[in-house]
Amino acid sequence: MNAPASRKQRRAAAKAARAGGRANALAKADRFLQVGDLKAAEASYREAHRAAPDQAEPLQGLGRVHRMAGRPQDSLAAYEQALNRAPDDPGILFELGNLARDMGMTEASAKFFHAVIGLKPDAMEAHNNLGSALRQLDRLDEAVDVLKPAIEKWPDSPDLWLTLGNVMADAEQNANAENFYLEALRLRPDFGPAVSNLADVMYAEGRHEEAIAHYRRAIDLLPDNPTAHFNYGQALLATGDLEQGWEEYEWRLDPAYPKSARRDHGLPRWAGEDLTDKRIMVCAEQGVGDEMRAAHCFPDIIDRAGGCLIECDPRLQSLFQRSFPDAAFHPWEGRHQAGQDHRTYEWLAGHEPFDFAIEAASLSRFFRRDLKDFPGPRKLFAVDPTLADEWRGRVQALGPGLKVGISWTSGLVNVARARSYAPLSSWEAILSQSGVRFVSLQYGDTEAEIVAAEQQFSIDIARWPDLDLKNDFDGVAALIDSLDLVIAPGTAVRQLSAGLDVPTWVMVSEPAVTALGQTVSPYAGCMKYFVRRPDPDMSGVLARVGAELAKTIQSRA
């Protein structure tokens, strides 16, 4: 007969049993995760955590499960608990970097990847991801400083060549970008992202046929990749292929597309069915300028439906309601969480039931499949009559001369987008013209820049402190409606101006997708584009706009 186990032996046996239980549970959880059974994996990771609450691995596994299940906040909490138990674990830090990137926490993502490299200098993927994060932060020189040494160390990594190519493309060093993409493809001939990004560079260079051929190859290699499809769709639209372009443009709605919004209205999506005696909701999407462009199709859907409710930015509700009185409008509700927009629809309970829903930007797919489908010039938006009288008087009080509204920048500027804008100090070709009364339509803290331009060009630029140029769309619409011309970059100002049928000159870096291959917008015959590329900056565009403005002034003389 064996002697009774001592207390020390019993403790050791219990510890071994717990360790065995944890190991078995972890092994089971890893297997479940590999086959995609997230529910079973979560249960097994929790079992492992109960067996060894002081260990990091089960919590790290839970972080993976939550991330794969689309629960980023739960994933973050699990990873943070794991990191508390193993603060120098490069694997946990790396996964936290990827999660932070997915959640739009780019600065934190970069810090995590930097920490991984400090602990594990041979972690090639961490170098690549750090370079990508620095690119997202517009710190392009720092990204190059990370990626070039990494490529010297791992010259056979197509991922590193791809990321460096992306940095060069953002810097508009397109020849370098193309060479780096080609090197990535030499190393991995079927590398879909490199093909797609090479197409982007070709398109930016004006090589549209080559670009479209590469986009087609990219979607052959990445048939389920929404970004590849969406970029292909934009290229098709920009070159005038509306029918196929609108189909590919629908990929922006794929949940895997980084900028897609989540909607929980639960309504069937309209696919072109007869809407007689049916009610449809049109869902707002993208930015306020995009909503105004989508409004060009509002009359079409309103005429077809038995009832129509249109979701919109709260700032547009009164303008839209006045302009389209046969529809109802409701401000969209939702939140921005974990790097993604979530639209909520509890407010639908206060309305009659709807039969269908459709996203606003998808209306063109049904009503604008050919250039012949676009109506002629028209005034889409209706201005408040009282405000119209007020602002007409204010503008007339500026005195004789052409009344020209100007906007020159955006509230969202990064390294790539900055090349689409030019500071007022470089507007000499426009602002030095005589016979013009300039009016600022630029929101934001721009007073110092305006005062400097007034002194530089010996002019007055009208502005009214009581008008909120960012949020008061009724007031801004009334002001614009009193002007003779608007000059602006590709911001919401140009969409509002075009919707009021005011002559609008738009300065852009490359042919606008919504120009649909035309120099004058099919959506608004009053909107004319001035394209920068292939010039490196906006000086050439400003000169062309200045020359056009001189002709206009002369014709009015």
Give the tens place of pLDDT for each residue, 305-318. 999 999 999 999 99
Which DSSP string corresponds to 485-496?
Answer: EEEEESSHHHHH
Which of the 8 DSSP states describes residue 506? E
For residue 412, with 0-12 CB atoms within 10 Å meaning exposed, 13-18 middle and 19 or more buried, which class applies? Answer: exposed
> Is the pLDDT reported for residue 17 higher than 50?
no
The structural domains of the chain, ordered by start, are 1-87 (1.25.40.10), 262-369 (3.50.50), 385-556 (3.40.50.2000)
Note the pLDDT of residue 70. Answer: 85
Which string of DSSP letters, residue by residue, matches 138-178? T-HHHHHHHHHHHHHH-TT-HHHHHHHHHHHHHTT-HHHHH
User: Has residue 415 got a pLDDT over 80?
Assistant: no
Phi, psi of 445 (to 5 degrees): -85, 80
Q: What is the DSSP letter of 351?
A: S
Task: Select from 471, 486, 401, 481 the least CA-distant residue to 441.
Answer: 486
Whose tokens are 């909120």? That residue is 468
Per-residue model confidence as pLDDT tens digits over 241-262: 999 999 999 999 998 888 888 8
Give the whole-angstrom CA distance, residue 399 versus residue 544.
Answer: 26
The pTM of this model reads: 0.83
Residue 9 CB neighbour total at 10 angstroms: 11
Across 267-288, average pLDDT = 95
146: tokens are 């990370």
Res 339 pLDDT > 90: no
Query: pLDDT tens for residues 488-516?
Result: 998 899 999 999 999 999 999 887 788 88
DSSP state of 196: H
One DSSP character per residue, 216-260 reads HHHHHH-TT-HHHHHHHHHHHHHTT-HHHHHHHHGGGGSTTSTTP
- Residue 456 in contact with residue 425, Cβ under 8 Å? yes
The answer to whether residues 379 and 324 touch, using CB atoms and an 8 Å cutoff, is no
Q: Tell me which of 337-346, 359-368, 464-473 is least confident.
A: 337-346
Note the pLDDT tens digit of each residue in 424-433: 999 999 999 9
- For residue range 76-123, what is the model confidence (pLDDT) as tens digits? 999 999 999 999 999 999 999 999 998 889 999 999 999 999 999 999
Chain mean pLDDT for the chain: 91
* pLDDT greater than 90 at residue 448: yes
* Tokens 């508390």 sit on residue: 84
Per residue in 117-140, pLDDT (tens digit) is 999 999 999 999 999 999 999 999
Confidence of residue 34 (pLDDT cuts 50, 70, 90): confident
CA distance 37 to 269: 30
Q: Which pLDDT tens digit goes with each residue over 480-493? A: 999 999 999 988 99
pLDDT reading at 444 higher than 60:
yes
Q: Look at residue 18 and tell me whether its pLDDT is greater than 70.
A: no
Instruction: Give the model's pLDDT for residue 551.
Output: 95
Please check the confidence at residue 397 and state whether its pLDDT lies above 50. Answer: yes
Cα 33 to Cα 14, 65, 67, 80, distances in angstroms? 28, 7, 12, 20
pLDDT at 314: 96
**N-terminal to C-terminal alpha carbon distance within the chain:** 119
Mapped onto helix, strand or coil, the DSSP state of residue 557 is coil
